[in-house]
A and B are shown apart, each in its own frame.
Chain A
Amino acid sequence: MDTLQHLMTGLAAAMSLQNLAFALIGCTLGTLIGVLPGLGPAAGTAILIPLTFKLDPTGALIMLSAIYYGAMYGGTITSVLINVPGEAASVVTCFDGHAMAKQGRGGTALGIAAIGSFIGGIFATLALIVVAPPLARFALSFGPPEFFALMLVGLCLVTGLAGQSLLAGLTMAVLGLLIAMVGIDPVRGAPRFTFGIPSLYDGVGFIPVVMGLFGVSEILLTVEKPYREVIKTNLASLLPSREEWRRSVGAIGRGTGIGFLLGLIPGVGAIIPTFIAYILEKRLSKTPERFGHGAIEGVAAPETANNAYANASMIPLLTLGIPSSPTIAVLMGAFIVNGLTPGPFLFKERPDLVWAVIASFLLGNVLLLIINLPLVGLWARLLRLPYQYVCVGTLLFCVIGAYSLQQNVFDIGVMIVCGVIGYGMRKIEMPIAPLVLGLILGPFLEKSLRTSLEMSGGDFTIFLTRPLCLGLLVVAGIVLIGSALRWAPAEVREASD
């Protein structure tokens, strides 16, 4: 009853003209980011944070969340029309989506993707509404040792599951944690690793770092990419035929379930649910040979799973304060910029904000459907925009974003350095996600560890004597050992690639 009341209050706030406008702008910008070449959801969300600096926190978070799931859908358009996934989760959509476009069924592919995304997003948000409050209430009973262990599990999951190399992932996570140590010590108040530079007293800014790692590095990579051809396809007919509907209904249902369940686990990444949904459909099909040659289930299932995952992955963030992916970490950074710390206390202290944001997911999914189906021709035309203009626009937003948070040119320098680092990391395929997560979780992880040890008088067995904490540490250990066994041969292969 309490949940329903909060949801109604949240819906009322989200449906205010101002917040509806923010959601609409966010969905439009997000789709634009997904469509434009060379910009993924993480980079896009990061570079658009400055747009929200002076908004009230609720409006800012509604807009940034809308940018996130808008970008997740925008990637589909590039997958279908130019066979280039706008973001990693749309890789699977290329298999059958592009084949459909080549057969002149591009409109139907985009239509079923939009409808599947809508259904997946709505169901995942409804499940979020049911799951999140009890999970947040449960997390309120956590002490510092449990939070430390929980964050460790999150980091291990992201490091172990998301990357190609466990060792590299762990190293990047440690580097991220170490960068987070720069600035004033949160417990004693003494400066650390500041080297006498006043700009470092507040630490290394998260926004300039992610803008560099994702935005600038993506531009540097885009400069190297060759020209891509946009194929001509029929975009007039968006709605599937009766037979195509029959084939898609089951795929959409299963995609929703897979996307939602995997969205609850930090570190899985959007690409895994989409692959599982695709493979499941192929296995269940009586005519698996159609897959890869324009099977509509091959678009419906992964696209639904993708959007269900995107909405469900907000659950670990909102209830436990654990970001599941780099884009969610960027969103967590946006929460922090607005003076809010995601986690169970946010449900308790700012229920108005949390429920307005959750309610906006429902409205956002409706808006996404409304702007995507009729405007699909416009998005297709935007694909022809020369990359040079996209590069300039992105760099402009990066400079503004890095500078304007603290009005400090030093942060632009941090962004440029991180851009070079991100470019190098991508060139050798070193994982960036663990570094970003380490950077954002670092202060919380250190504070939890030190508070725990202060509670026990420096005795580390405090982590082993509390059953929940011990259980979480065992999970972290299992994840790492499992990942080590899984990735060990790949590391050698990758190094010699």
Chain B
Amino acid sequence: MRRGWLVACLILLGVFGTALFVSLDYSLSDSLGPGAGFFPFWLSVIGGALTVAIMVQVSRSPAPAGADLVSGSDRAAVMRSIALLVALGITAAALEPLGYRLTMLLFVPGVLLLLGVRSPIPVALCALAGSFGVFHVFYHWLKVPLPIGMLGI
């Protein structure tokens, strides 16, 4: 967990540093009082200082033995999580060109198979319900606009 905190702190320092640098492009004050850069500038400074304080605190504490080791089962779970995120990314990219129904007709069975569901009938039923069923409920009943792709589906 200690390494995780240190990595998180480094990322936070990067974010606050970038924000500090960018906020210098905006005016800190103008004729009416504080400018557009005032709040982000001081937030970046405070955030950076707090992050450094966490880093000091974490790095001064003793590391527990055996920490930061990823077990075999953890690795499998991490791979499943990464695959889920990739599936979500592909879904986002395909949503407008293919439309909601076609995208979800591929996404739902894909995720179910990824998570270990092998029975074809439940997978097919879920795919139909998640794509055409959900589209019908949201688009026609709840009037929530969902994308229709270039194939008109």
Structural contact, A400 and B146, CB atoms closer than 8 A: yes
In the complex, A396→B1 CA distance in Å? 32
Among B16, B40, B92, B126, point to the contact of A192 (Cβ < 8 A): B40
Q: How far is the CB of B119 from chain A (nearest CB, A)?
A: 10
Residues 31-71 (chain B) with a chain A CB within 8 angstroms? 32-40, 43-44, 46-47, 50-51, 53-54, 57-58, 60-64
Is the contact region of chain B dominated by helix, strand, or loop, or is it mixed? helix
Say yes or no: is A237 at the interface (Cβ < 8 Å to chain B). Answer: no
Structural contact, B89 and A223, CB atoms closer than 8 A: no
Q: Mark A414-453, 1 if CB is under 8 A from B, else 0.
A: 0010011001110111100000000000000010011001
Say yes or no: is A376 at the interface (Cβ < 8 Å to chain B). Answer: no
Say yes or no: is B124 at the interface (Cβ < 8 Å to chain A). Answer: no
Say yes or no: is A127 at the interface (Cβ < 8 Å to chain B). Answer: no
Say yes or no: is B4 at the interface (Cβ < 8 Å to chain A). Answer: yes
- Per the CB 8 Å criterion, the residue count for chain B at the interface is 71
Say yes or no: is B102 at the interface (Cβ < 8 Å to chain A). Answer: no
Q: Residue among A177, A192, A446, A497 with the most chain B CB within 10 A? A: A192
Task: Collect the chain A residues with CB atoms within 8 Å of residue B1's CB.
Answer: 428-429, 494-495, 497
Structural contact, A223 and B84, CB atoms closer than 8 A: yes
Task: Collect the chain A residues with CB atoms within 8 Å of residue B115's CB.
Answer: 223, 387-388, 391-392
Task: Collect the chain B residues with CB atoms within 8 Å of residue A386's CB.
Answer: 117
Task: Collect the chain A residues with CB atoms within 8 Å of residue B104's CB.
Answer: 396
Among B30, B84, B92, B111, point to the contact of A412 (Cβ < 8 A): B92
Task: Collect the chain A residues with CB atoms within 8 Å of residue B111's CB.
Answer: 388, 391-392, 395
Structural contact, B15 and A409, CB atoms closer than 8 A: no
Structural contact, A495 and B91, CB atoms closer than 8 A: no
In the complex, A86→B70 CA distance in Å? 27
Say yes or no: is A216 at the interface (Cβ < 8 Å to chain B). Answer: yes
Task: Collect the chain B residues with CB atoms within 8 Å of residue A177's CB.
Answer: 39, 43
In the complex, A423→B37 CA distance in Å? 31
Say yes or no: is B10 at the interface (Cβ < 8 Å to chain A). Answer: no
Say yes or no: is A174 at the interface (Cβ < 8 Å to chain B). Answer: yes
Instruction: Name the segment of A165-173, A282-290, A468-476 touching the other chain.
Output: A165-173
Structural contact, A416 and B108, CB atoms closer than 8 A: no
Residues 95-115 (chain B) with a chain A CB within 8 angstroms? 95-96, 100, 104, 107-108, 111-112, 115
Structural contact, B53 and A50, CB atoms closer than 8 A: no
Structural contact, B95 and A412, CB atoms closer than 8 A: yes
What residue in chain B is nearest A405 (Cβ atoms)? Answer: B144
- Say yes or no: A54-B92 contact (C-beta < 8 A), given A192-B26, A430-B8, A458-B33: no
Q: Mark A388-407, 1 if CB is under 8 A from B, else 0.
A: 11011101100110011001
Structural contact, B5 and A428, CB atoms closer than 8 A: yes
State which size class the interface on A falls in.
Answer: 35 or more
Q: Mark A139-176, 1 if CB is under 8 A from B, else 0.
A: 00000000000000000000000000101101100110
In the complex, A449→B38 CA distance in Å? 10
In the complex, A387→B80 CA distance in Å? 14
Task: Collect the chain A residues with CB atoms within 8 Å of residue B128's CB.
Answer: none
Task: Collect the chain B residues with CB atoms within 8 Å of residue A352's CB.
Answer: none
Among B53, B80, B85, point to the contact of A416 (Cβ < 8 A): B85
What residue in chain A is nearest B88 (Cβ atoms)? Answer: A416
Task: Collect the chain A residues with CB atoms within 8 Å of residue B38's CB.
Answer: 450
In the complex, A203→B84 CA distance in Å? 27
Task: Collect the chain B residues with CB atoms within 8 Å of residue A243's CB.
Answer: none
- Say yes or no: A167-B50 contact (C-beta < 8 A), given A178-B19, A193-B22, A409-B92: yes
Structural contact, B74 and A224, CB atoms closer than 8 A: yes
In the complex, A409→B33 CA distance in Å? 38
Say yes or no: is B72 at the interface (Cβ < 8 Å to chain A). Answer: no
Residues 171-230 (chain A) with a chain B CB within 8 angstroms? 171, 174-175, 177-178, 181, 185, 187-188, 190, 192-193, 216, 219-220, 223-224
Q: How far is the CB of B88 from chain A (nearest CB, A)?
A: 5
- Say yes or no: A50-B77 contact (C-beta < 8 A), given A412-B88, A428-B4: no
Q: Residue among A190, A396, A458 with the most chain B CB within 10 A? A: A396
Say yes or no: is A370 at the interface (Cβ < 8 Å to chain B). Answer: no
Task: Collect the chain B residues with CB atoms within 8 Å of residue A446's CB.
Answer: 39
Task: Collect the chain A residues with CB atoms within 8 Å of residue B122's CB.
Answer: 389
Structural contact, A181 and B39, CB atoms closer than 8 A: yes
Structural contact, B36 and A178, CB atoms closer than 8 A: no
What residue in chain B is nearest A491 (Cβ atoms)? Answer: B57
Residues 447-469 (chain A) with a chain B CB within 8 angstroms? 449-450, 453-454, 457-458
What residue in chain A is nearest B91 (Cβ atoms)? Answer: A399
Structural contact, A395 and B43, CB atoms closer than 8 A: no
Say yes or no: is B120 at the interface (Cβ < 8 Å to chain A). Answer: no
Structural contact, B88 and A54, CB atoms closer than 8 A: no
Structural contact, A400 and B134, CB atoms closer than 8 A: yes
Q: How far is the CB of A18 from chain B (nearest CB, A)?
A: 14
Q: Residue among A178, A187, A220 with the most chain B CB within 10 A? A: A178
A-B CB contact pairs (8 Å), 10 listed:
A50-B138, A171-B12, A185-B36, A188-B35, A220-B84, A399-B88, A404-B146, A416-B92, A429-B1, A458-B33
What are the 3 tightest A-B residue pairs by CB atom distance, in nearest-first order?
A412-B92, A428-B4, A174-B47
Give 7 new A-B contacts, CB below 8 A, not counting A187-B36, A389-B122, A407-B147: A174-B43, A181-B40, A190-B36, A192-B40, A400-B100, A409-B93, A496-B61
- Name B residues whose Cβ lies closer than 8 Å to a Cβ of A: 1-2, 4-5, 8, 12, 15-16, 19, 22-23, 26, 29-30, 32-40, 43-44, 46-47, 50-51, 53-54, 57-58, 60-64, 74, 77, 80-81, 84-85, 88-89, 91-93, 95-96, 100, 104, 107-108, 111-112, 115-117, 122, 126, 130, 134, 138, 142-147
